[in-house]
């Protein structure tokens, strides 16, 4: 994958906890773009805390202190991608590398938000098909479109043609899966019965899009969440395994290595 830049390292649509926080950390070797999707929170950007509304997006540069802080009644979804980008992209889109953090904070209107989420969903969908010809180039391409869209969000010109929004029922099912990555399987089953009355028919549409059944995708996303925790926190590998519902550390290590191609400790040491 090193031949294809920009290169996504991990991505996800994570439901944060009520009153939860990650008060401050930095990435030395890669950058991150983060969208606050559905509820307000506080975001630490450029080392400064600021109120963030749904639709606010931020690009954190390597070495820059960032985090989030929820009030007791807030649990927003954060849509984020950790990535490496080549300097050619930053020269072409200087807004993304602006030394002023204020220049790397946006509020997206409904059309921009729909476009971002549609591109993000295509990135996610491509990740489900590693055997396709051009898979690595496609991952890089969808990420490049996300970053180019970010560079244009504040342009005083007409928007590009409206993006085709993701199927709302599929998007709802995908969010339910994300919400239950750290829950027992029985909780997911109950949530599906309560919130997806047409699950039996919807799962076939879901599999056509992602190439996996919802529960298979959940197993895949648990490893993506593990990658996020390895990069974003200092939790020990055993603690991450327990948090994600693995009964034994060896079970988690096997699943992670099978999907990522290296052990959790090796990935944390060198995510590139």
Same domain, 116 and 179: no
**Count: domains in the chain:** 2
pLDDT at position 1: 44
Burial class (CB in 10 A: 0-12, 13-18, 19+), 139: buried
Same domain, 44 and 116: yes
CATH number of domain containing 100: 2.60.120.280
Pair of tokens at residue 22:
């990650």
Residue 142 located in a structural domain: yes
Same domain, 181 and 141: no
Measure the CA–CA gap between 20 and 43, rounded to whole angstroms: 12
Same domain, 32 and 140: yes
CATH number of domain containing 261: 1.10.10.60
Same domain, 99 and 181: no
Same domain, 215 and 97: no
Range of the domain at 258: 168-269
Measure the CA–CA gap between 100 and 46, rounded to whole angstroms: 8
Is residue 155 predicted with pLDDT exceeding 80? Answer: no
pLDDT at position 110: 86
pLDDT tens figures, 161-175:
433 345 788 888 888
Is 61 within 8 Å of 24 (Cβ atoms)? no
As a three-state string, the secondary structure of 235-268 is CCHHHHHHHCCCCCHHHHHHHHHHHHCCCHHHHH
pLDDT tens figures, 2-50:
578 899 999 888 778 899 999 888 998 899 999 999 999 999 998 899 9
Same domain, 11 and 108: yes
Measure the CA–CA gap between 101 and 60, rounded to whole angstroms: 8
Helix (H) or strand (E) holding 81: strand 77-84
- pTM score, two decimals? 0.72
Measure the CA–CA gap between 69 and 42, rounded to whole angstroms: 5
pLDDT tens figures, 197-238:
999 889 988 888 777 888 888 888 889 889 989 998 889 999
């Amino acid at each position: 994958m090193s031949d294809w830049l920009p290169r996504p390292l991990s991505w996800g649509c994570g439901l944060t906890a009520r009153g939860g926080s990650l008060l401050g950390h930095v990435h030395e070797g890669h950058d991150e773009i983060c969208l606050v999707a559905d509820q307000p929170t506080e975001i630490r950007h450029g080392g400064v805390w600021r109120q963030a509304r749904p639709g606010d997006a931020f690009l954190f540069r390597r070495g820059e202190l960032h985090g989030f802080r929820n009030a007791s009644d807030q649990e927003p979804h954060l849509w984020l991608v950790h990535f490496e980008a080549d300097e050619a992209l930053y020269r072409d889109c200087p807004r993304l590398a602006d030394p002023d953090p204020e220049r790397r904070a946006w509020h997206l209107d409904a059309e921009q938000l729909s476009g971002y989420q549609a591109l993000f969903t295509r990135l996610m969908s491509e990740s489900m098909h590693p055997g396709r010809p051009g898979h690595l180039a496609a991952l890089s391409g969808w990420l490049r479109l996300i970053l180019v869209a970010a560079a244009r969000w504040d342009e005083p010109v007409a928007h590009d043609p409206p993006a085709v929004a993701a199927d709302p029922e599929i998007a709802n099912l995908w969010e339910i899966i994300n919400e239950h990555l750290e829950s027992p399987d029985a909780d997911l089953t109950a949530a599906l019965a309560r919130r997806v009355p047409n699950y039996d028919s919807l799962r076939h549409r879901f599999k056509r899009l992602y190439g996996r059944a919802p529960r298979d995708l959940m197993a895949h996303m648990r490893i993506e969440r593990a990658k996020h925790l390895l990069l974003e926190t200092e939790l020990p590998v055993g603690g991450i395994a327990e948090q994600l519902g693995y009964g034994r550390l060896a079970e988690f290590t096997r699943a992670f290595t099978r999907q990522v191609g290296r052990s959790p400790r090796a990935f944390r040491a060198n995510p590139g």
